[in-house]
């Protein structure tokens, strides 16, 4: 077997080992039997929430087992084909099997990253907010570019994107925008994007064509599902209604349907500006619960706390990623060192490599913390 193929096989085997460790492949069949026995209990559905949680856990285990077995089986099948082709001098069979192994390596790497999404809320839907920072009109335009980037990324994943609220910039772009992104592991993927993003480019708003630096911040919160109880007393919130701004003409909102909810103990403010005031209230409460839940996650995780504290204001010294369009082309994540010169691809939503690198770094950090705790 050629050296290239040996390296590919080793990479696949490494991914399989990591997948097997996270699955605990030896005990997985026994755990599945236990799930099946619990499901057969006639009293299970007396508690629908518990039953649904059990069904989700069972399905997650079945999916993980199928992924592991599928990659392991494909690897063995293609290795046998290469061995057969080489023995019989059939170059066509060898070429086809090698092509399959290259595809398998990519699939195994993707599944390895997905296996890292095992946090308490990683599988949940998510709220994502983009806010313009230092830089005036430039940052408002940068905020709109970031919003477009995340919408493109979500669409490529097959996720559903719902606009929750938007505040337009005075001259161009947006001051802020909030989305609800629905899809499996939406929060798990996007949580690594929280922080300040820095853009360097020749300003399209500068008649002297000078280079400008702009900042915008991204905030990500998991959507709290029915299995996570967040109690918010009425005395802790203030609800305001106001007239939402529109594009003019037939789009002008002539009723006070937009809703703003302020959580008094934390001073968290959430808004929603759809047509229905009732829906806006529901959107705001869902977003507020998610923000409060995120605070609780921050308290539990030293790693998340460190990242949160490091974000700071949307300005110099606090960025997690730089997007340089002039004088050269480069996107670089300042936490992991991951970088690419394909700036347009990134701005069109090709973000998985950056997310994967951050997730992998997070796992390494947790492992080191666990080892230190044991010592």
DSSP code string of 297-308: HHHH-HHHHHHH
Question: How many Å separate Cα 35 from the centre of its chain?
Answer: 29
Domains of the chain: 3-114 (1.20.58.410), 126-225+271-371 (3.30.70.1660)
Max CA-CA distance within the chain? 79
pLDDT for the residue 178: 93
The Cα–Cα gap between 116 and 188 comes to 9
User: Is residue 236 a contact partner of residue 263, using CB atoms and an 8 Å limit?
Assistant: yes
Cα distances from 33 to residues 27, 28, 36, in angstroms, run 10, 9, 5
**On the CB side of 31, how many CA atoms lie within 13 Å of its CA?**
16
pLDDT digit of tens for each residue in the chain (375 aa)? 788 999 999 999 999 998 998 889 999 999 999 999 998 888 888 888 788 878 878 988 999 999 999 999 999 999 999 999 999 999 999 999 999 999 999 999 888 888 888 777 888 899 999 999 877 889 999 999 999 999 999 999 999 999 988 999 888 899 999 999 999 889 999 999 999 999 999 988 877 878 889 999 999 988 876 556 678 889 999 999 887 654 444 444 445 678 999 999 999 999 988 778 888 888 898 888 888 887 877 765 544 445 444 444 555 556 899 999 998 999 999 999 999 999 999 999 999 999 988 988 876 555 555 545 445
pLDDT for the residue 209: 76
According to DSSP, the β-strands at 319-324 and 195-202 are parallel
pLDDT for the residue 13: 94
User: Is residue 187 a contact partner of residue 197, using CB atoms and an 8 Å limit?
Assistant: no
The Cα–Cα gap between 284 and 273 comes to 10
Write the CB contacts of 144 (distance below 8 Å, at least 6 apart in sequence): 169, 172, 173, 174, 177
Q: Is 351 exposed, middle or buried (0-12, 13-18, 19+ CB in 10 A)?
A: buried
The Cα–Cα gap between 95 and 115 comes to 30
Tokens of 49: 């929430």
Angle in degrees, 0-180, between the axes of helices 302-311 and 277-300, rounded to the nearest 10: 120
pTM reported for the whole predicted model: 0.67
Please tell me whether residue 24 adopts helix, strand or coil conformation. coil
Q: Torsion angle, CA of 75/79/82/84, rounded to 10 degrees?
A: -130
**Nearest by Cα to 323 from 137, 125, 149, 151:** 149
Q: Is the dihedral of CA 352, 353, 356, 357 positive or negative?
A: negative
């Amino acid at each position: 077997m050629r050296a290239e193929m040996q390296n590919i096989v080793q990479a696949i085997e490494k991914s399989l080992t990591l997948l097997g460790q996270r699955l605990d492949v030896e005990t997985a069949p026994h755990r599945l039997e236990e799930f099946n026995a619990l499901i057969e209990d006639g009293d299970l559905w007396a508690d629908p929430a518990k039953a649904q949680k059990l069904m989700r856990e069972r399905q997650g285990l079945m999916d993980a087992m199928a992924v592991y077995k599928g990659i392991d089986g494909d690897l063995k099948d293609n290795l046998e084909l290469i061995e057969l082709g080489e023995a019989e001098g059939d170059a066509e069979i060898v070429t086809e099997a090698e092509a399959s192994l290259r595809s398998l390596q990519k699939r195994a790497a993707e599944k390895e990253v997905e296996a890292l999404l095992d946090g308490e809320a990683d599988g949940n839907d998510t709220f994502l907010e983009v806010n313009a920072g230092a830089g005036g009109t430039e940052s408002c335009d940068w905020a709109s570019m970031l919003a477009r980037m995340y919408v493109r990324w979500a669409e490529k994943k097959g996720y559903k994107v719902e606009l929750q609220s938007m505040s337009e910039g005075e001259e161009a772009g947006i001051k802020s925008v909030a989305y609800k992104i629905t899809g499996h592991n939406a929060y798990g993927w996007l949580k690594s994007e929280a922080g300040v993003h820095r853009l360097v480019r020749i300003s399209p708003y500068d008649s002297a064509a000078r280079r400008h630096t702009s900042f915008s911040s991204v905030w990500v919160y998991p959507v709290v599902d029915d299995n996570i109880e967040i109690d918010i007393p009425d005395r802790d919130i203030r609800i305001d209604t106001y007239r939402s701004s529109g594009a003019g003409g037939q789009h002008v909102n002539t009723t006070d349907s937009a809703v703003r909810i302020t959580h008094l103990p934390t001073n968290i403010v959430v808004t929603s500006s759809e047509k229905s005031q009732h829906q806006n209230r529901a959107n705001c409460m869902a977003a507020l619960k998610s923000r409060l839940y995120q605070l609780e996650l921050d308290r539990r995780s030293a790693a998340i706390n460190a990242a949160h504290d490091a974000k700071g204001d949307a300005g110099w010294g606090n960025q997690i990623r730089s997007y340089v369009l002039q004088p050269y082309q480069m996107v670089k994540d300042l936490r992991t060192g991951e970088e690419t010169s394909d700036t347009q691809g990134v701005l069109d939503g090709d973000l998985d490599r950056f997310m994967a690198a951050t997730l992998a770094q997070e796992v390494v950090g947790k492992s080191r913390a666990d080892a230190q705790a044991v010592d």
